[in-house]
Amino acid sequence: MGLVLHPLMSFLHRLFRHTAAGTKTDWVFLLSSLVLLAFFGLPLLALIQRAVGTDFFAYALSSQALTALRLSLVTSTHSVLLAVALGMPLAYVLARFKFRGKTALELLVDLPVVLPPSVAGLALLMTFGRTGLFGKGLALVGVSLPFTTAAVVLAQTFVSSPLFVRSTRVGFTEIDPRLEEAAWVEGGNEWQVFRFVMFPLAGHGLVTGVILAWTRALGEFGATILFARNLEGKTQTMPLAIYLGFERGLGVALALSVLLVVVSVVLLRVMLKVEKHGGQ
């Protein structure tokens, strides 16, 4: 937790030092900030304090926890790969081209971000379920998606890929159009301009998008439990194992929760470093 506590303490020290020499208005800002920071931080500290004990590693290394961890890493990685493969071209189109209906398309891309996860899961079930829009056609070729590991990947992709598209779109948008024009003048074709100019210059946006999508996929719960159910070893990712552990035994749930917090902190720390480096 030093990745979080050290910057936080440094921020608070600078804030107190600045406010001590300021006005009463500064103290209002300080106190309001502290209330929200405490609301963010204290539950996490309480979680870690309750989880870390003599039995922490026993729970964290249990077969249920390791199986859920392995499944989460595998499915989230596949969902991020899908998001990159399908989302990068879409982000490039949204960033560099103007066409009728673009606003509606952007709305469609961003919609899964604000949809309740239960709605996302139900929508996937109505689309790919056995009686869904494409379910009967898939059944004819022997494919059944609900309640499978593939369903977990699809649910994670549905809720996480818009974050990748949004971040990557911003990365492409921030590129100076004159650089693209210079590449065209030098005789580059569409692929060469994208490969050697646009892709490298949008690198920080791509990395940020990958991290955001990955953390969202790792934490996905609502859409997964509706579309894939909670089957140990098959569809039970870490969030679902936490939910089940909360009902059966709090130890596994607490251990997995701390693991998710640590992974999220590390990924977000990397993202902040990338953003800081990209802004320089």
pLDDT tens, residue by residue, 26-85:
667 778 888 888 999 899 999 999 888 768 888 888 888 899 999 999 999 999 999 999
Crossing angle of the two packed helices 250-278 and 63-96, in degrees rounded to 10:
30
Residue 246 confidence (pLDDT): 80
Which pTM value belongs to this model? 0.84
The residue ranking higher by pLDDT, 114 or 175, is 114
Residue 13 confidence (pLDDT): 63
| Rounded to 5°, angle at Cα 69 from 68 and 75 | 85
DSSP annotation string for 210-228? HHHHHHHHHT--HHHHHHT
C-alpha distances (whole Å) from 275 to each of 4, 107, 136, 182, 280 are 17, 25, 45, 26, 9
Each residue's pLDDT tens digit, 135-182: 889 988 989 999 999 999 999 999 999 999 999 999 999 888 888 778
Q: Which residue has the tokens 């909360």?
A: 246
Specify whether the CB–CB gap between 155 and 224 falls below 8 A.
yes
Nearest-angstrom CA–CA distance, 152 and 131: 19
C-alpha distances (whole Å) from 155 to each of 131, 183, 225 are 18, 39, 9
Q: Which residue has the tokens 């239960």?
A: 118
Residue 212 confidence (pLDDT): 93
Q: Which residue has the tokens 């996480």?
A: 160
230-233, Cβ contacts within 8 angstroms, sequence gap of 24 or more: 231/147, 232/64, 232/67, 232/68, 233/67, 233/71
Each residue's pLDDT tens digit, 208-261: 999 999 999 999 999 999 999 999 889 999 999 999 888 777 888 898 899 899
Tokens at 249, concatenated = 């035994």
C-alpha distances (whole Å) from 76 to each of 18, 99, 189 are 43, 33, 34
pLDDT tier, 20 (very low <50, low <70, confident <90, very high otherwise): low
C-alpha distances (whole Å) from 89 to each of 83, 94, 206, 209, 215 are 10, 9, 12, 14, 22
Show Cβ contacts of residue 104 under 8 Å, excluding neighbours closer than 6 positions: none
Tokens at 118, concatenated = 């239960």
Nearest-angstrom CA–CA distance, 71 and 264: 17
